[in-house]
Chain A
Amino acid sequence: MKNWPLWEVFIRSKNGLEHRHCGSLHAADANMALENARDVYTRRMEGVSIWVVESKHVVASNPENSGELFEPAKDKVYRHPTFYDLPDEIKHM
């Protein structure tokens, strides 16, 4: 079992919401990964739907590049939609 590949697990907590990453686990194949995800991550009614993706298929950004990737956004507060007055009647914003 030591050579079972790693899988990333995504759970949708309610219909209408998006799947969110909740953790990872080991499994021999996709089917087992789904079953394991059900047992490990949905024991407390966390979800109504599960996605699993083998971790090797996730392409990740390199932490070494975070300077050029993320820092330029730091001083651009005008990209946040916080400069508008919202009418009180609008909910869920």
Chain B
Amino acid sequence: MKENLIKYILGIADNSLILGQRLSELCGHGPSLETDIALTNISLDLLGQTRSYFQYAAKLKGENTTEDDLAFLRKERQYLNALLVEQPNGDFAHTIVRQFLFDGFHLLFLEQLRTCADTQLAAIAEKSIKEVKYHFRFSSEWVKRLGDGTEESHEKMQVAINDLWIFTNELFLMTDAETAMHREGIGVDLESLRADYQEQISEIVEEATLQIPETKYWQKGGKQGIHSEQMGYILADMQYMQRAYPNMQW
């Protein structure tokens, strides 16, 4: 039970951690000062949420584990984030579509998690929902603006959706830990979110005059620790300081 709960928490936390890390790469590189700040705000929201999850997981783990150990000292296969969030920033269309596809899921997920039997997780979800509502609003707004913008922006957005849509199915595939936690009344039934997700995403995509591609083959693996080639680069960047100077602190 405890083992599964820790895995469950890490799965949630790693999505926020890796997406937060990805967005932080844009600090100082956003397309305009305003969007630069907006994206790094979102990054900081996600890292803040990650800390709450890691602190809880570290406490459950015991043996003097700290949140930093969980963030910086695991190996690639031990990170349980979905493949979607580790995809590169690419152009602004890819950054926004990745965000949009994750935010839609994240919001539905947290709305369920806040009613779960684990009071600590429910409290973290409750606090995070307000932030994620804004994230979803921000990314949806940009999807509509660019999708229904110029010919060039429309085309770039459609390419981004075509590239990233194949990663969305994994968000709803239950791992063993997630199934076990669902049975305990803690974990969210991911399959049950699927219909709402389809509906909400389609509505905005349609409004943006874009199309969700027909997909037969889906990508998966991140949630089991089997990542795309992107992950090694992210970790090299993220873990460098702790690996080079073990136990260093700010």
Binding site for B on A (CB under 8 A): 1, 4, 25-28, 31-32, 35-36, 39-40, 43
Contacts and interface: CB of A to CB of B under 8 A. Distances in A.
B41 A35 contact: no
A41 to B, nearest CB: 10
Given A35-B141, A36-B34, A40-B37, 17 more contacts: A1-B31, A1-B32, A4-B32, A25-B33, A25-B34, A26-B34, A31-B141, A32-B145, A35-B38, A35-B137, A35-B138, A36-B35, A39-B37, A39-B41, A40-B33, A40-B34, A43-B41
Interface residues of B, number: 12
Interface string B14-34: 000000000000000001111
A26 B32 contact: yes
Interface of B: 31-35, 37-38, 41, 137-138, 141, 145
B144 to A, nearest CB: 10
A52 to B, nearest CB: 12
Contacts of A43: 37, 41
Main secondary structure of the interface of B (DSSP, over half): helix
Contacts of A28: 145
29 contacts: A1-B31, A1-B32, A4-B32, A25-B33, A25-B34, A26-B32, A26-B33, A26-B34, A27-B34, A28-B145, A31-B141, A32-B141, A32-B145, A35-B38, A35-B137, A35-B138, A35-B141, A36-B34, A36-B35, A36-B38, A39-B34, A39-B37, A39-B38, A39-B41, A40-B33, A40-B34, A40-B37, A43-B37, A43-B41
Contacts of B31: 1
A19 B145 CA distance: 29
A33 to B, nearest CB: 9
Nearest to B40: A39
Nearest to A33: B34
B44 to A, nearest CB: 9
Instruction: List the 5 closest pairs (A to B, CB-CB), nearest first.
Output: A36-B34, A39-B38, A1-B32, A39-B37, A40-B37
Contacts of A25: 33-34
A23 to B, nearest CB: 11
Q: Which of A26, A31, A40 has the most B CB atoms < 10 Å from its CB? A: A40
Contacts of A4: 32
